[in-house]
Structure 1
């Protein structure tokens, strides 16, 4: 293991400790506010999210929507792979920021359109990032891996612990994971983003909130997928 890989593995340990910290007071207050907001959100909004998540899971498991001709990365060093992944993170953050600002500025109808659009952006990014680390996204088990990375990024404290265990021990656990509980998957995601994304529907501030939220959601997803792939490649997981 070279110096770069040793530093990356050390970063994984720091990331895991941060991930396992309980939500702070602000998060708990936000959760209470979110629950109140969720209770007055029109059913149409919940339906859009649920339908989008169901379509996402179906599309990922089928694979065809997100699999395209990719670069051969077999000869790249680990450091070079990560350089390309970081470039992808920057590209997708810009895309998500522009998309969030545009839909956020358009009121509730365009704001609703942001949910499936952002999901698609996130998933396209995950497929590209996992491929750049050298995993074959044409394989069904790698697409299941991608869904669990997504779930780790956007879930509650309790679900994070469970999902991290699965990803840390992927070789041993993957044989048991022939399918995904999409109901839990979509509920965890919805609960994670409800508060900030509902603010995106508010006239006057929607564009700013949408741009800021999407930028940070992609940054967070990028950090998650990098560390999950590091665990597999550097720990032999």
Structure 2
């Protein structure tokens, strides 16, 4: 392990410890407010979001719609991979921001369309970044890893802690998992979509309001892609370092 990888290893350990931190009073307060606001959103909207997440999970585990269209080859070194990722993140952030501005301008009904579109941006980003770090996007186990990184970025403190433990012991977790793409019963998408919905920021819910939803939608999508970018960087670094052991 060279000096750069040693520093990366330490950064990954800091990230894992952050994932394992219990919820703060601020987070608990924010969650309570979000729960109340969620109750004000029409049930049809929640249904649409649940279906979008289900389709996304099925697409990740068993489909090809998120396969990268660009030429994302595995980097020769971890430093090179990190540099390529830092170039990739703002590309997807700008795309997601533009999409959020467009749908946010239309209020709750057009805003509802933003959720599946944003999910698509997020998963295409994870697939593209995965190839840079040498993951096999045709390997069912590596696709599961991507879903865990998504959950590390967008879930409750309790679920993030559970996810961190699983990422640290990944080889043990996948020891009985097939390499071949298989939908199987490997993922509880209902819990997954509940975690994701509950994590969506108050500012994201405000995107549904006519008038100023465009500005909020653009800013929220930009920030959420950045949040996923952090999880991807540290999570893929962890995978890279484990592969060298």
Please indicate the TM-score interval, normalised by the length of the shorter structure.
Answer: over 0.9
Q: Aligned ranges for residues 214-229 of structure 1 at < 5 Å?
A: 214-229=221-236
Q: 1:26/1:208 Cα in 2 relative to 1: closer, same or farther (>3 Å)?
A: farther
Q: Hey, which bits of structure 1, 4+ residues long, moved more than 4 A? A: none
> In 1, distance between residues paired with 2:75 and 2:112?
43
Say whether the 8 Å CA contact 1:152–1:164 is kept in structure 2.
yes
> In 2, distance between residues paired with 1:113 and 1:148?
24
1:32 aligns with 2:32: yes
Equivalent residue number for residue 5 of structure 1: 5
Say whether the 8 Å CA contact 1:168–1:232 is kept in structure 2.
no
Say whether the 8 Å CA contact 2:103–2:111 is kept in structure 1.
yes
Q: 1:72/1:31 Cα in 2 relative to 1: closer, same or farther (>3 Å)?
A: closer
Superimposed CA distance per residue, residues 68-109 of structure 1 (whole angstroms, 9 cap, x where no aligned partner) = 466463462211111111111111111111111111112112
Q: Aligned ranges for residues 136-151 of structure 1 at < 5 Å?
A: 136-151=136-151
Say whether the 8 Å CA contact 1:152–1:224 is kept in structure 2.
yes
Equivalent residue number for residue 234 of structure 1: 241
Q: Which has the higher helix share?
A: 1
> In 1, distance between residues paired with 2:53 and 2:196?
9
> In 2, distance between residues paired with 1:199 and 1:75?
40
1:207 aligns with 2:214: yes
1:203 CA displacement? 1.8
The two structures have a TM-score, normalised by structure 1, of 0.93
The two structures have a TM-score, normalised by structure 2, of 0.90
Say whether the 8 Å CA contact 1:63–1:138 is kept in structure 2.
no
Of 188-197 and 125-134, more deviation after overlay is shown by 188-197
> In 2, distance between residues paired with 1:172 and 1:103?
42
Superimposed CA distance per residue, residues 51-81 of structure 1 (whole angstroms, 9 cap, x where no aligned partner) = 1011001111123111246646346221111
Say whether the 8 Å CA contact 1:97–1:210 is kept in structure 2.
yes
Superimposed CA distance per residue, residues 154-204 of structure 1 (whole angstroms, 9 cap, x where no aligned partner) = 111111111111111111101356611111111100110063322111122
Q: How many pairs are equivalent?
A: 237
Of 95-104 and 11-20, more deviation after overlay is shown by 11-20
Which of these residues, 190, 193, 196, is aligned with residue 186 of structure 1? 193
SS in 2 for 1:175: coil
Which of these residues, 200, 203, 212, is aligned with residue 196 of structure 1? 203
